[in-house]
Amino acid sequence: VNAIGTGAADVLIDGEKIAAVLQPGSTLLGHDLAASVDTVVDATGKYVIPGGIDAHTHMQMPFGGTEASDTFETGTRAAAIGGTTSIVDFVVQYPDENILDRYQAWHDKAAGQCAIDYGFHQILSDVQDSSLTAMDELIAEGVTSFKLFMAYEGVFLSDDGQILRAFQKGADNGAMMMMHAENGAIIDVLVQQALARGETSPYFHGTTRPWQAEEEATHRAIMLADLTGAPLYVVHVSAKQAVEQIAEARDRGLNVFGETCPQYLYLSLEDQLGASSAEWGDFEGAKWVCSTPLRSKHEGHQHHMWQSLRTNDIQMVSTDHCPFCMKDQKELGVGDFSKIPNGIGSVEHRMDLMYQGVVTGQITLPRWVELTSTTPARMFGMYGQKGVIQPGADGDVVVYDPNGHTSIGIGEGRSHHMNMDYSAWEGYEIDGRVDTVLSRGRVVVDAGGYIGDKGHGRYIKRGLSQYLV
C-alpha cells in the first residue's frame, strides 16, 4: 500500500534499502525469489506499508516544571512497536538559550539511544538576531522547520513582531514555519478568572482555552504568513473553526498546512468532564490535559476533523507525543489545573488509531498511508528516502495484519510500552495489528514483539519541504 494505491507485490530489500518492488511470482536471475534471499517475511493476507512517520514528538522534553517521561530510548522503542519508523522531535529553546547549543544538546540526548530514525525541528522562543542567523546553520544541518508559539507567556510565547521577523527569515530561506496557534493573552485571563471562581479541576483546562482563541491565532498566523510569504504549518489543530481558516487560506493558494492528532479525532471535552476514578477522583481528567485542548463533542469538532482528513483541508496526522505520568507529574496540578503539565502520549498508537478510521470507513487505505507516512515525509523534506515503498527508499516497512487485533492499554494482553503510568487510550480496541516492522532493512519488531536495538536509529538530515514550489 502506497499513498497512490494498492497492489499485490513482493518487496525486495537489499541491506538498508528497498531494491525492487516485484510482481508476485517474479524470479531473481532466474531463481525463485524466496530461495534467493536470506530472510523472507511472509506478508500473505496482510498490508505492506511504508513505516509510519510521527513528525511531532517531545521525548525527554523539560516542560511544566518536570520532564516528558519517555526518553529517546523508551519512546522510539514504543514507536517501533506501533509501526512508526521515524520521528521528528522538537529541540527546545527557552528564552536566553542559544539554539545551536540546544540543537547539540538534542543530539547528545538521542545519539545511541534510538530504535528508529529521528530528525529534529527547532523551537524558537527567543527571536533575536542570533537565533535568526542560526536558522541558516540549522537548515544546513537538516533542521528545516521551526516552531513558534502564540501561547505560554514567559516560556515559549513570541509576540506578533517577533513572529513577523522569524517568518520573514523563513520566507527568505525556505524553512517551514510551524505554529502553536492559541491566543495566550486571552487564555491567561480566562485561566486566572476560572481559578478565582474555584474552578480548579482538569476540565477547566479545556473551558479556558476556547476555540475562539485557536481560530483567532490561526487566522493571525495565516495573515503573517501571507504578509511575509513564509510557508506555514499549523500544529495540533483541534477546532473546526481553525480548520476553516486553513482551508480558506489554501483555497487562496497560500502555502498553509495543518496537522491534527488522534486525540482530536477520538476524544472530547465531555469525556474529560465525565472522567473520574477511585484513585484520582475528578483529577482523573488530568490524563487528557493537552494544548490545544480536547474539544466539545456537541460542537462537532471531532466529526469535522475526520472530514477534513478526507478533503485534505488537514494534510497529516502526528501525535504531539508529550507523555507525563500521573504520579509526581500530572499530580503537580492537583488543586490548580494550570499547573498540570500539558501533554498526551500516543506515539505507539497512532498507526493503529488511524487504521481504525479505515475500518470504520472514515478514510481509505492509501489515505491512511498518506496521512501517517507519505505526507509527513514530503512536508518535512524526507520523501524518497522515507514515506514510500519504492526502489531506493530506506527499508522502513511495516507488515500490518487486518485480521489481527490490538487492545490498547496497560496490563496483561494490552499493548502499552510507553514510559507512562497510565494510558490516555485505555480500553480502545483496534481491528488490526502491527505484525512486523523493518527499520532500514533490519527487522525490529517480529510478530508484534520488539527485537531491535537502541542505537540502531540514525539522525535524518532533512531537506526543505517538498510541498513548496
Kindly state whether residue 322 participates in binding ligand URP, applying the rule CB under 6 A.
Answer: yes
Number of residues this chain uses to bind Zn ion (CB under 5 A) = 2
Q: Which of 227, 111, 106 is nearest to 171 (CA)?
A: 227
Q: Does 259 bind ligand URP (CB under 6 A)?
A: no
Asked if residues 423 and 416 have their Cβ atoms less than 8 Å apart, the reply is yes
Looking at beta carbons only, is 273 or 344 nearer to ligand URP? Answer: 344
Nearest CB to ligand URP, comparing residues 58 and 350: 58
> Bridge-partner residues for 177, per DSSP?
146, 232
Q: Which does 241 bind (CB under 5 to 8 A by kind): Zn ion, ligand URP, none?
A: none
214 is an interface residue for Zn ion by CB under 5 A? no
Q: Give the residue among 153, 62, 155, 97 at the shortest CA–CA distance from 343.
A: 62
Task: Give the separation between CA 407 and CA 351, rounded to whole angstroms.
Answer: 13
- Computed from CA positions of residues 227, 143, 85, 47, in that sequence, does the dihedral angle turn out positive or negative? positive
CB 417, CB 73: distance < 8 Å:
no
- The SS3 call for residue 185 is helix
DSSP three-state, residue 64: coil
Which residues within the stretch 168-187 sit at the binding site for ligand URP (CB under 6 A)?
Answer: 180
Q: Is the Cβ of residue 47 or residue 152 nearer to ligand URP in the bound state?
A: 152
CB of 320 or CB of 394, closer to Zn ion: 320
- Residues near 287 by Cβ (< 8 Å), separated by ≥ 6? 275, 326, 330, 344, 422, 424
- In the bound complex, what is the minimum distance in angstroms from residue 39's beta carbon to ligand URP? 39
Which partner, Zn ion, ligand URP, none, binds residue 290 by CB below 5 to 8 Å per kind?
Answer: ligand URP
| Residue 89 contact partner, candidates ligand URP, Zn ion, none, CB within 5 to 8 A by sort of partner | none
Residues 319 to 338 in contact with Zn ion, rule: CB under 5 A: 320
**Exposure string for 72-100, b = 16+ CB within 10 A, e = fewer:** bbbbbbbbbbbbbbbbbbbbbbeeeeebb
* Contact track, ligand URP, 275-304, x by CB under 6 A: ---------------xx-------------
The binder of ligand URP chosen from 342, 346, 375, 385 (CB under 6 A): 342
| Touching ligand URP, residues 216-255 (CB under 6 A) | 236
Shortest Cβ 279–ligand URP spacing (Å): 22
Grid look-up 528545516 returns 144
Least Å distance between CB 73 and Zn ion? 20
CA geometry: angle at 379 spanning 374 and 382, to 5°? 65
> Contact letters (x/-) for Zn ion, 171-210, by CB under 5 A?
---------x------------------------------
Q: Which of 320, 348, 394, 435 binds ligand URP (CB under 6 A)?
A: 320
The span from the CA of 363 to the CA of 158, in Å, is: 36
What is the contact surface with ligand URP in residues (CB under 6 A)?
Answer: 58, 180, 236, 290-291, 320, 322, 342-343
What is the contact surface with Zn ion in residues (CB under 5 A)?
Answer: 180, 320
